Amino acid sequence: MIFPHRTGGSKMAEIREKVILRSGQRIPFDARSFRWEGVEPEAYKFSLGEARGMGWRGITRFTLGGPPEIPCRFQMRYFELAPGAYSSLEKHQHIHLIIVIRGKGKALVGPEVFEVAPFDIVYVPPEVPHRWINDGDEPFGFLCAVDAERDPPRPVDGEEWKALKQNPKTAPYVF
């Protein structure tokens, strides 16, 4: 699906947007490229400055659906981490509920690090530090549903950082 406000717009995007709002839409998936037709990659996020732990590498985000094109209160996204990639170490008030659909990876969630594989589900409660890691040699991808209107990510505080650095499970992923 091509969203005009995200890709600069096109006649096909306008047609698709009208079809979605009136009658629903099917977005074909190409298993060879592991991509949805017309869904363009976006930057994972823009620079969050030099805040400790907020760096990231090798992540692509795809917005699969949400407002204003779909009348709902959530946004469905697909994130793909290249081999060696990692997300920012962050927290926020909104929850994450992710479903792994490609490859294997790790999820740092609070004091735990989970190894995850296709069809595993990970819940991240509000205000819990978290980071996604791909230390394998294949892409790692997951669907992530979040509130459409949500607070921005924030770095972990000093006490959280210290606890994560002292925890032998999480320490390798706190940088």
Q: Show which residues are catalytic.
A: 144
d(CA 113, CA 110): 8
Can you tell me whether residue 15 is helix, strand or coil? helix
Beta-bridge partner residues of 146: 75
93 Cβ neighbours under 8 A, 6+ residues apart:
126, 127, 150, 151
Sign of the alpha-carbon torsion through 50, 56, 60, 63 = negative
- Please give the radius of gyration of the chain, using alpha carbons only, rounded to the nearest integer: 17
